[in-house]
Structure 1
């Protein structure tokens, strides 16, 4: 049977209903395997919503069911909305994909003058900047704004050559949004609402913190820590990071609204007879720019296909029976995916309320397998195996605390003072309850420095779960009896790990 005939066979209502019944059974199996409290799914084919349903509950331990109107944080699937807004700027003649960024944003600067001159608009969203993966993500976590994130690029040290390899960053989508704001005269959130949400009838969607937490029908946010389910309530102090990083990941939506977004994508930029984005420029947002994963004998991975490439806020994967365009999203509490097969005019969106899980990709791939009548594969087991491999790798790489740690070389008071660098600003260290406490960022975020060995300490956010890990260490440099620098391992890969101590804070003491 040809691919076309397979597609037609599964468009017949009887066959489709049988596949969807099988799919629902699989969804519950996967949800229970990964202990996901709630899932919402919608599918679109030939400009129609052919499936919509919620599974499980909004909050772990409750009985309030997820439904198709339940609001989730969609995370990095937001990136494609930002690239669509840039595509609309190209449509309007404000810029071209091949324009230099500095010709539109003269203050755009990187640490390398040649890279600054060579950076094109299309490079902003192609994930080949040369920066470290997730570089400067913590700036938003500790309270810095978008202007600071953009300005910090001039101090950010590359780890590879420009355009040479894939590296996932969020900060450059904030630069892309600055282009949107310059030429629309609106904030990114306003432009998003007026140019995409409103014409697509996505009335239940938003891109602000209040838009999520004031919604009557929204999901809870869940993370798993040491095998335990943790619910991040409204008072968790770090929610704003997502909405500051907005153009890279802050949209709040539900599967019904996201189905409208899929209709636009499958309609080549046209929705209900009206062109929202030109077909050519929308197609450019899905055009491969950077090798994401490729090569012989790739291990099976849901949505991975036989080779995948990052485009402009989308991933383009060569798969059977046809290429899949997709992107995942992860927030502090949700994991999501949007995926579609342009040549077959079919797509699916999966929203879950547990972070750090492969469930969205597993279910999206299973949906396509059933839709096309593909070879049966248990993607759930493949995902669980990958999870165990990752846990084993993490365990093997874990730093083991010394069995008999040496005490600090100096009294704790000698480590106090202000340390600074050009990206993260000041870190102020004080002694409280006989331990060192660091304060960082505009939000004055507190970090416990828990003693590890001699002048090395663990970096642990005081308010609970954060982007740190048990392996994140911080050390002090001492020269001639004086503490000179603070080295934060968590920031070292960005070239931002060294914080120099203010001269007036140096206290000489015998070692």
Structure 2
């Protein structure tokens, strides 16, 4: 058995003061301790069976880190092991941590959860005047602003910096009326966080360090990708290709750092769970006002019935809030399609929480570990094979899309119409949202250049007449998407539509005059 430093130094640990929102209940004597060896065996088995290359797990109970360990390797094919100090990219688990940073700012009185963005960051605008004037930090942290879920994601992928992504959100038509529906938005939450920090005269990254990471001793945690890559002991991202886990790409999420940019260790996040479960107390000191903390877990937007565990699911301020057969669960998951997975699951009524970090996608291993752990604690044995449904859920996120693309574009037409001469397509195309797209002739083919200064470059492969294919995702090398030119009366392309950037109806760019 491997136990954390807090258990070994238990005489130095202060007891938590439990939040009023969820008074702690007693578990059966020794239930958590008895579950830990079985939890470890289960996690080891997942790694040995190839479900993930590497994983780290921490468990907190009654204000102590009672379990902390790593499994597997940081990078497939190499020997360096995952250990308690291995740094992972945690993706959208960042949202719950960022909500805690904002709670700290709220606690100081420099901003409130209901502060209007127009008052604290007046440069930010939505596409309509009324929501822009009334939008609050809470609206953005609960995903009820009306912004479509993907808004800004494609701009980040093209390399635009945070300020420019947030500025261009005003060009996006709403997916719903203001405050009427839940739409999970990375850059909506990012704006809420950045605006809250600005109200306290701080940049976001500094706010995280000063208000949370520093006070809790989370020395390996950062919102900066450069800090992540500076760690030698870091987990590489993996995707499954040809039946094997492979490290194919990197992910630099600085633009959406509050929503998905944290890198951390299981041990650091265990300290954060201690703070959350204690309602803002840490080692006997009141760090964050209890009311500011409690506000994170007020259910604001319904998410329906959970597809795997059947719980009634809601979203609060940066947190999922679920009501299941064992009571309230606070949590959040994270995923990067190019190779990261994470989950934190807290049961405040029992002062119990688990965090699981993994270096692969798609995999439901983190959720399976958490669900199995709770079965072991409450029932003494697993009550279900949780891995299968979670794996199926994550595989469904991209599998059908990839298969549809392969079916449509995987086989060239038997008798394709030839392309026009390269000069018909070469040129610069643009719209206000995506910016410039340059089509250039290089060697014997065409290249598409996107993003600031054309930094993202993709060879165009002819498919049929004025339709070309390119592969924008390094982690999905067999996933083709279409670039479609519309030819004008002069025999030259007048518009270019990029299929993978058209989810918001903004993927068509007009040729710019020379």
Q: Please report the TM-score for the alignment, with normalisation by the length of structure 1.
A: 0.88
Q: 1:413 Cα shift? A: 2.0
Instruction: Answer yes or no: is 1:23 the counterpart of 2:73.
Output: no
Change in 2 beyond 3 A, CA 1:44/1:199: same
Out of 145-154 and 464-473, give the one that drifted further.
Answer: 464-473
Superimposed CA distance per residue, residues 385-444 of structure 1 (whole angstroms, 9 cap, x where no aligned partner):
446666774466444235325235521221011111112211111112322211111261
Residue 376 of structure 2 corresponds to 370
Tell me, which stretches of 5 or more residues in structure 1 are unaligned?
A: 505-511
Change in 2 beyond 3 A, CA 1:5/1:86: closer
State the secondary structure of the residue aligned to 1:147: helix
Counterparts of 1:450-461 in structure 2 under 5 Å? 450-461=461-472
Residue 344 of structure 1 corresponds to 350
Residue 355 of structure 1 corresponds to 361
CA distance in 2, matches of 1:177, 1:161: 22
Change in 2 beyond 3 A, CA 1:57/1:428: same
Counterparts of 1:350-499 in structure 2 under 5 Å? 350-373=356-379, 376-386=383-393, 393-394=400-401, 397-398=404-405, 399-401=407-409, 402-404=412-414, 406-442=416-452, 444-461=455-472, 465=474, 470-480=479-489, 481-499=491-509
Q: 1:254 Cα shift? A: 0.7
Instruction: Answer yes or no: is 1:217 the counterpart of 2:227.
Output: no
Residue 191 of structure 1 corresponds to 207
Residue 243 of structure 2 corresponds to 227
State the secondary structure of the residue aligned to 1:318: strand
Tell me, which stretches of 5 or more residues in structure 2 are unaligned?
A: 1-22
The answer (yes or no) to whether the contact 2:136–2:192 under 8 Å persists in 1 is: no
Out of 201-210 and 85-94, give the one that drifted further.
Answer: 85-94
Instruction: Answer yes or no: is 1:66 the counterpart of 2:82.
Output: yes
Residue 509 of structure 1 corresponds to none
Superimposed CA distance per residue, residues 329-374 of structure 1 (whole angstroms, 9 cap, x where no aligned partner):
1234321111101111000010111133211111111111211227
Instruction: Answer yes or no: is 1:8 the counterpart of 2:27.
Output: yes
CA distance in 2, matches of 1:221, 1:392: 19
CA RMSD of aligned residues (A): 2.5
CA distance in 1, matches of 2:25, 2:108: 40
The answer (yes or no) to whether the contact 2:419–2:464 under 8 Å persists in 1 is: no
Among 199, 223, 226, the alignment partner of 1:207 is 223
State the secondary structure of the residue aligned to 2:68: strand
State the secondary structure of the residue aligned to 2:36: helix
Q: 1:503 Cα shift? A: 2.4
Superimposed CA distance per residue, residues 53-100 of structure 1 (whole angstroms, 9 cap, x where no aligned partner):
111111112222211111111111111222222223322323332332
The answer (yes or no) to whether the contact 2:27–2:350 under 8 Å persists in 1 is: no
CA distance in 1, matches of 2:223, 2:397: 32
Aligned length: 485
CA distance in 1, matches of 2:186, 2:478: 20
Q: Please report the TM-score for the alignment, with normalisation by the length of structure 2.
A: 0.88
Instruction: Answer yes or no: is 1:88 the counterpart of 2:104.
Output: yes
Q: 1:229 Cα shift? A: 2.4
Residue 327 of structure 2 corresponds to 322
The answer (yes or no) to whether the contact 1:405–1:454 under 8 Å persists in 2 is: no
Superimposed CA distance per residue, residues 232-282 of structure 1 (whole angstroms, 9 cap, x where no aligned partner):
4xxx5x543x12221111111111111100000100011112222211111
The answer (yes or no) to whether the contact 1:90–1:96 under 8 Å persists in 2 is: yes
CA distance in 1, matches of 2:175, 2:416: 34
